[in-house]
Amino acid sequence: MHEIHEREILEKLRELNAKRVLIQTPEGLKKEAQYLADFLEENGIEVIISGDINYGACDPADREAKLLGCDALVHLGHSYMQLNLEVPTIFVPAFAKVDIVKALEKNLEQIKKLGKRIALVTTVQHIKDLPNVKEFLRSKGFEVFIGKGDNRVSFAGQVLGCNFTAAKVSEEVDGILFIGAGYFHPIGVALATKKPTLAINPYSGDALWMDVEVGRIIRKRWAQIAKAYDAKKFGVIISTKKGQLRLNEAKRIVKLLREHGREAKLIAMNYINPEALEGFDFDAYVVVACPRVPIDDVERWRKAVLTPKEVEILLGLREEYQFDEILGGERKKDEPLGISLR
């Protein structure tokens, strides 16, 4: 289970004078969404639960909330992201209840292989545990650094699937330690930083190195670039999800392609999937939305699919491989990092 602070949510909804709300949740928090719905209904608020897949804070259901006549959106599981929203939206990070230090103790010898100077990162679920993790590692002789990141993230040390600025600390470090489950985030950390990256899963206690998987991914990315070498017509895909919309970047890519003798057209999609594109006769595609779509879903694409950075390699404007990210602005000195509800 996760902490979701239902009474704090209720207080905020009452401040908004909300009578009807939409709850949006990722797959792993659907039971918590049901529990929250019961609690809010017991306190006089009408609730609708969104059944759609949610991809992160970049994908709020505020348009749907407005269409359903809701006074507010409760977005579970992700921290605040600055977006132009159509209804008041409460971002509710769901903090996991798990003993992380136990998993660190089990994998101390693996952590030592990173070196003495370590950058520490995690997802929002474990962000409250970073001070304890840092103190434990320091007691074992490590120098530990936690980057602030840019203003797309809410907390120091937090990484998103599209933004790893918190992993790029100003100090020179030997490697990156990621706390959390799965490959998705630590693979991005390793690709973005080009540093040795070790992921500790606090639930299973497993330790996973990212180097083999990263090498495999980069080889596949170069293969996609080679596959697009003779392509003449490119579909440049933009997302209509508010946190993924990069229209100016897409226009830049269209301009670059046309300047180098290729045809290019903009395509707008909400859910980006290759099956929906089969009716077009483009030779290749560029995804200027979530940078993980062309990487994680590459096996589903029949035609070459590139990121903006890979287009620059294709056109001879860049030599070294670089991971594509969605960046925020520079964090101001007095800008708060921790945002639980907004």
What was the pLDDT predicted at 329?
77
What was the pLDDT predicted at 337?
37
What was the pLDDT predicted at 333?
56
Say if CB 102 and CB 69 are below 8 A apart. Answer: no
Reported pTM = 0.90
What was the pLDDT predicted at 150?
93
Token pair recorded at residue 341: 């509800």
Neighbours of 177 (CB within 10 A): 28
List, in order of start, the domains of the chain with CATH numbers.
Answer: 2-93 (3.40.50.11840), 100-209 (3.40.50.11850), 218-314 (3.40.50.11860)
Give, for all 342 residues of the chain, the pLDDT tens digit.
Answer: 566 788 999 999 999 999 999 999 998 899 999 999 999 999 999 999 999 989 899 999 999 999 999 999 999 999 999 898 999 999 998 888 899 999 999 999 999 999 999 999 999 999 999 999 999 999 999 999 999 999 999 999 999 999 999 999 988 999 999 999 999 999 999 999 999 999 999 999 999 999 999 999 999 999 999 999 999 999 999 999 999 999 999 999 999 999 999 999 999 999 999 999 999 999 999 999 999 999 999 999 999 999 999 999 999 999 999 999 999 877 555 544 333 444
Neighbours of 183 (CB within 10 A): 13
Longest dimension (CA), the chain: 63
Neighbours of 265 (CB within 10 A): 13
